[in-house]
Structure 1
């Protein structure tokens, strides 16, 4: 018998892996890099780079329509992510801190349903649902957009929170119960501090998803309720200018910062491992 040890399988050693990976990275990031570069174009052309300038960033910052859309986006994202995070935390508690029961798999499926169904289908369903409420009540404010975004963001917040709870050792929670702590006190003093990084990560991810959403916003919003992404979509239908590139680059920067914070928080080890 030969004692020669074989190398463990690694996909990076397969023939052609490196060039295919490079092509994928170029196709993914070359358009984004091009957009960021052209956001510093001093001219109005989106095809000819004339000179370096940050004038379009100042123009976007001074545009009242951009200011209103950006503020509206932040308000909707803040409230929607807050609602989604609370609901996701409750759902995570109900699916990880209880004994196994019939239908748990179905509950997982229902919570994650927005991730599996095409977003346009969810948008049409929300449009029909909220349209009937608008007709019955006569109210057409931002609450519909906030609730629509919250419903769509729940599974995005649920996944990191549930993962955090499943990775926690329940010894401290059991010890607190043995010391006659009530369920609420155990949650507030033990579970919540341990799961806080997961909750923060879920809230950040939900905030980013809500901030960047276009399809659901486009279907549910009323007149005069443009968010920053839908405002940009409307501008692109008229003419493409470096101002749109500047707004996109700024939105990209915010998204990258929040997603980096999300991965840092979700990647932290639990203070009490299994």
Structure 2
């Protein structure tokens, strides 16, 4: 049934309100980042300037927090993605009777409040490092990486598991029958198949770590990340330099998303071309077989 005029108007209105709600704050911050007043202002536009971007990069605390957030994000990726991969593989290997219990256990960190994860991480590692004499591990960066990875790895596992459920196990069996070892099957068959999911999990892990606040604010101790620095600045009063930071992050994210989409489409096109070439070669071989037999 075709929608009537009223339904079309309501759908258009809903779409406009949705995108206004979604993109409105970004537009406000983008305009205020180029406006000259000392406080975030959209209208009136008193002048256009790039001074707030210069002030942003000259802010020592902000740049220190940004570098710390990038470093922590990379470490979280290095820990959370392998843990998520292992968790997804185990999920497909264990007996169906215990699979639901295992799923509940590995997903439970996602349901735990970040404040609880941050506090429990600090308390546990303070006692552990004190009893084992490894006080050098009681560091804000180490605790933050461990606290964030404890729940971000569950997100990674869910992404990888969704891809792994479409994997054809007969490929592994065929490789093992031909004499391949389990590490070779994992490296040459399973990992290439999971490559898109691993890339998606790595991106999600990094972004989740970069924007995390609840766990970070307790686990970071005396160090600072970008989120903790921004939280302190907002309490003191926002400035257009924060708007400039938002513009930089949004532009970087959009460029990264576009680059990833271009790479993905080229990879898909190359895979399709290889598949077509293989099919053409197979058809040519099949069509040439009778001729060879007749000759």
TM-score of the two chains, using structure 2 as the length reference: 0.78
Q: Which residue of 2 aligns with 1:194?
A: 193
Match of 2:79 among 73, 83, 90: 83
Are residues 105 and 23 of structure 1, via their aligned partners in 2, closer, same or farther at CA, if it must alter by over 3 Å? same
1:123 to 2:118 alignment: yes
Q: Which residue of 1 aligns with 2:244?
A: 246
Structure 1: how far apart are the matches of 2:245 and 2:259? 21
Q: How many residues align?
A: 262
* Superposition deviation, residue 135 in structure 1: 5.7
Q: Which residue of 2 aligns with 1:101?
A: 96
Q: Which residue of 1 aligns with 2:28?
A: 34
Where do 1:201-240 residues align within 5 Å?
A: 201-223=200-222, 225-240=223-238
Are residues 210 and 191 of structure 1, via their aligned partners in 2, closer, same or farther at CA, if it must alter by over 3 Å? same
| Gap runs ≥5 in structure 2 | 273-295
Kept in 1, the 8 Å contact 2:121–2:143? The answer is no
Where do 1:1-274 residues align within 5 Å?
A: 7=1, 16-47=10-41, 48=43, 49-96=45-92, 98=93, 100-133=95-128, 138-139=135-136, 140-141=138-139, 142-223=141-222, 225-258=223-256
RMSD across aligned positions (CA): 3.0
Are residues 128 and 264 of structure 1, via their aligned partners in 2, closer, same or farther at CA, if it must alter by over 3 Å? farther
Kept in 2, the 8 Å contact 1:38–1:242? The answer is yes
Kept in 1, the 8 Å contact 2:121–2:146? The answer is no
- Bigger Rg over Cα: 2
Q: Which digits, 9 at most, give the CA deviation of each residue in 1:227-251, with x for residues without a partner?
A: 1111111111112100111112222
| Gap runs ≥5 in structure 1 | 1-6
Q: Which residue of 2 aligns with 1:3?
A: none
Q: Which moved more, 1:84-93 or 1:148-157?
A: 148-157
Are residues 261 and 150 of structure 1, via their aligned partners in 2, closer, same or farther at CA, if it must alter by over 3 Å? farther
Structure 2: how far apart are the matches of 1:185 and 1:94? 18
Compare the two structures and name the one with the higher helix fraction: 2
* Superposition deviation, residue 110 in structure 1: 2.2
TM-score of the two chains, using structure 1 as the length reference: 0.83
